[in-house]
Amino acid sequence: MVDLSVQIGDLRLKNPIMPASGTFSEDLATMLDINTLGALVTKTITHGIRQGNPTPRVCEVAGSMLNSIGIPSKGVDYFRNVTVPYYQAYDSPLVVSISGNTTDEFAQLCEAVSVPGVAAIEVNISCPNIEEDGKAFAMRPSSTLDVMRKLRAATDLPLWAKLTPNTGETSDVARAAQEGGADALVVCNTMLAMSIDVQSRKPRLGNLMGGLSGPSLKPIALRMAYQCAKAVDIPVIGCGGISTTEDVLEYLIAGASAVQVGTATFINPTAMIRIIAELEAYMVAYNFSKMTDIINSVRDEEAADTVVFMETAP
Amino acid sequence: MTVAVVDVTPGIVPANEQVFETECQVISNSPVNNDYRLLVLAAPAEILNCTPGQFFHLQCPVREGLQPYLRRPMSIYGYFPEKGELQFLYKIAGTGTAALATLAPGEPLNVVGPLGQGFDIRDDWQNLLLLARGVGLATLAPLALEAHKRGKTLTAICSARSPEMLMSIDYFRDLGANIITVTDSEETSGLENLEKLIEGLIATNGIDAFYTCGSNRLLKLLQTLGARHNISGQIALEQQMACGLGMCQCCVRSFQSPTGIVHKRVCKEGPVFDLQEAMGW
């Protein structure tokens, strides 16, 4: 019998596959039994109601996509009154993704979503911080540490810090998040990108720039997950460009304890179900009985020392 | 003017509670004229529980030189549970549809659906007017069939660049529709002429509901006529989509509501919306 369960801090997940924030909602229940997923991660919510960015909010680039949705949110009251009760019907842990423009606003929301029914809070510190000229909190170790300390003080629930690939200080940011009180790292968010229509000469997103996601992000996000797993003692949850079971295995071998599947669900809404089944079949085929047989099994050996030099290329 | 977030008030016709990701087999995929092609798929009965106006999200094939990544939403041209067929009428407009055009009989096509809220045909509506241009008629074809089955009286105003570009005329005629064609080349498709035509129809037989899709110009005209004569209407709208299921919030558009302007998702609250709620673009 294969045991697919994994441990993320105090939380035991039935398997390491969960949706990435922004690519999942109650709507996926029309396609599959969402109770089969390791965890249920909401789209990022903000304290107040937000409309989001102008359209077009999405465009495709070679083998991947760009999005600039702008976090439309129904606010914290809707989340507490409608979203949390909805997910009570499922036993997969509910993880709420939150964001704030300032450290104080972020911390207030963190406290407000710490209600029964929420198993963990994914803090989207990849979002712009208006106190730092719009630079994302997780671009720098200092702003990461500041915001994580305030968030840590605001809740007793597990905090998962979602990091950004738009940084040159991956390992330092990861250590700052851990020092600030994160229980796990989610590595990583989308990478800032752009696309222009050469006929009209207009940027192809209404917001001009947006986040790259999909298979072309994977090698970058995998490198970051590996660096973070080396840098911290808390679990790393890999995220970025996963669409196959092999992609999942790469992240697990690199040191991730679980993974989030995002854009792949847009292409194949049943992708996560398929991956869970294939992962189990893989475990059986290779005589593995538990996920820790695979997690962090990368054979980097002496070469691991070079990780420190990789910091030069972020 | 305040803009609220997505309003999840139930749409016109409830969306399907279960949606399927299914591999269908291509039966045929051939041109119907210079611009348009008809794709016919063999589909299992479970995915053919459709409502006119709904759409499928198609995973267009990846070919040498044509590499669509995201799915492409496409309104249903025909669904026939009795013979297990699903049909789409499309025009090659970009990478996705160009790749779709390469599909040969026997090849698989992965489809997700049926998706969205379809058209409503209320029992007390007898005289229905369908107004569309070009491929917009494809979206109204299953509506015409359903209206015919329910014994409604149909008038279809079909607009195109030139008479040879008019499509689905025979299809609508076979359903007993009164067909009026207007074209740019005959200079009959202008708004003034359309308004006169529709005013004439209202004056003679009366119209209970308008159905349209796609065109900003036609939307404005029907909104004006609808308000003037208190005639209900519905419009099918498009928007760039990623997931098609309501999760990603990419496909929002703005709509009038009693509380101000609201955003709604074309994939979930739509693609069919109340005519007067829709906003021009």
Minimal CA separation from A11 to chain B, in Å: 26
CA distance A208 to chain B (A): 15
The domain spanning residue A16 has which CATH number? 3.20.20.70
- Tell if the CB–CB gap between A67 and B20 is shorter than 8 Å: no
pLDDT of residue B15: 65
Query: Nearest C-alpha of chain B: how many angstroms from A216?
Result: 12
Query: Side chain identity at A51, as an amino acid letter?
Result: Q
Residues spanned by the domain of A306: 6-310
**pLDDT range class, residue B7, cuts 50, 70, 90:** very low
CA-CA-CA-CA torsion for A248, A250, A254, A257, nearest 10 degrees?
10
Say whether A110 is catalytic.
no
Residue B143 above 90 pLDDT? Answer: yes
pLDDT for res A145: 98
Output the pLDDT for position B5. Answer: 42
All CATH 3.40.50.80 domain ranges in chain B, comma separated: 127-274
Q: In whole angstroms, give the CA distance from residue A22 to residue A18.
A: 12
pLDDT digits (tens, 9 = 90+) for B50-105: 999 999 999 999 999 999 999 999 999 999 999 999 999 999 999 999 999 999 99
Cβ contact A259:A16 at 8 Å:
yes
Measured between beta carbons, which residues in chain A are less than 8 angstroms from residue B20? Answer: 31
Q: Which CATH architecture has domain B127-274?
A: 3-Layer(aba) Sandwich (3.40)
Q: How many domains does chain A have?
A: 1
CB pair distance less than 8 Å for A64 and B242: no
pLDDT tens, B247-275?
Answer: 999 999 999 999 999 999 999 999 999 99
Comparing B63 with B15, the larger pLDDT belongs to B63
E-assigned strand segments in A132-213 = 135-136, 159-163, 184-187, 191-194, 196-197, 202-203, 209-213
Taking any CB pair shorter than 8 Å as contact, residues of chain B touching chain A are 3-6, 15-21, 59, 67-71, 110, 112, 239-253, 263, 268
| A27 with B246: Cβ contact below 8 A | yes
CA dihedral B256, B262, B265, B266 (to 10 degrees): 20
Interface-testing mutation among B57, B250, B264, B279, with chain A (most A C-beta atoms within 10 A)? B250
| Minimal CA separation from B251 to chain A, in Å | 7
**Contact flag A74-B243 (C-beta cutoff 8 Å):** no
> Per the annotation, does A67 bind a ligand?
yes
Residue of B nearest to A74 (CA): B5
The Cα-based distances of B105 to B28, B42, B138 in angstroms read 5, 10, 21
Distance CA B108, CA B61 (A): 9
Whether B2 shows a pLDDT value over 50: the answer reads no
Closest listed residue to residue B62, CA positions, set B28, B127, B108? B108
SS3 state of residue A36:
helix
Q: Is residue A292 part of a domain?
A: yes
A160: three-class secondary structure by DSSP: strand
Cβ contact, residue pair B240, A57, below 8 Å: yes
- Give the pLDDT mean for B33-40: 91
Q: pTM for the complete prediction?
A: 0.93
Residues of chain A with C-beta less than 8 angstroms from the C-beta of B254? none
A21 known ligand binder: yes
Task: State the alpha helices, DSSP H only, in A163-270.
Answer: 170-179, 218-231, 245-254, 263-267
Residue B69: CB partners within 8 Å, gap ≥ 6? A60, A61, A62, A63, A64, A65, A214, A267
- Closest A-chain CA to B2: A51
For an interface test with A, the pick among B249, B252, B265 (most A C-beta atoms closer than 10 Å) comes out as B249
Phi, psi of B194 (to 5 degrees): -65, -40
Q: Residue A98 half-sphere exposure, CB side, CA atoms within 13 Å? A: 34
pLDDT in tens, B100-137: 999 999 999 999 999 999 999 999 999 999 999 888 88
**CATH number of the structural domain B20-115:** 2.40.30.10
Q: How far is B115 from chain A (nearest CA, A)?
A: 10
Choice among A127, A188, A228, A239 that is catalytic: A127
The band of B3, judged by pLDDT with boundaries at 50, 70 and 90, is very low
Interface test with A, best of B6, B241, B247 (most A CBs within 10 A): B247
**Range B150-166 average pLDDT:** 92
Angle, to 10 degrees, between the axis of helix B216-229 and the axis of helix B191-204? 30
Per-residue pLDDT 10s for chain A (314 aa) are 899 999 999 999 999 999 999 999 999 999 999 999 999 999 999 999 988 999 999 999 999 999 999 999 999 999 999 999 999 999 999 999 999 999 999 999 999 999 999 999 999 999 776 777 778 999 999 999 999 999 999 999 999 999 999 999 999 999 999 999 999 999 999 999 999 999 999 999 999 999 999 999 999 999 999 999 999 999 999 999 999 999 999 999 999 999 999 999 999 999 999 999 999 999 999 999 999 999 999 999 877 666 555 555 55
Q: Between A and B, how many CB-CB pairs are < 8 A? A: 107
A134 is in an annotated binding site: no
Judge: B263–A267 Cβ closer than 8 Å, yes or no: no
CA distances from A228 to A77, A231, B9 (A): 34, 5, 43
Write the ipTM.
0.92
> For chain B, how far is it from start to end, CA to CA, in angstroms?
17
Which residues in chain A are contacts of B240 at CB distance < 8 A? Answer: 55-59
> Are A51 and B263 a contacting pair at CB < 8 A?
yes
**Is residue A71 annotated as involved in ligand binding?**
yes
> A274 contacts in B (CB within 8 Å)?
none
Q: Which of B2, B3, B5 to mutate to test the interface with A (most CBs of A within 10 A)?
A: B5
Which residues, listed in sequence order, are joined to residue A267 by a DSSP beta bridge? none
- Among chain A residues, the shortest Cα distance to B57 is held by A267
- Give Cβ neighbours of residue B192 (< 8 Å, ≥ 6 apart): none
Contact list, B4 vs chain A (CB under 8 Å): 49, 51
In total, chain A counts a number of residues equal to: 314
pLDDT at B22: 96
Start and end residues for every CATH 2.40.30.10 domain found in chain B: 20-115
Tokens read off for A145: 């540490």
Q: Is residue A1 part of a domain?
A: no
Q: Would the pLDDT of B10 be above 60? A: no
pLDDT value of residue B226 = 97
What is the band of B9 on the pLDDT scale with cuts at 50, 70, 90?
A: very low
pLDDT at B210 over 60: yes
From B261's Cα to the closest Cα of chain A, the distance in A is 11
The verdict on a CB contact (< 8 Å) between B59 and A24 is no
- E-strand ranges in chain A read 6-8, 11-13, 17-19, 40-41, 58-61, 64-67, 94-98, 120-123, 128-129, 135-136, 159-163, 184-187, 191-194, 196-197, 202-203, 209-213, 236-239, 258-261
A214 assigned binding-site residue: yes
In a domain, A178, yes or no: yes
CB contact under 8 A, B243 and A23: yes
Do B245 and A69 lie within an 8 Å CB cutoff? Answer: no
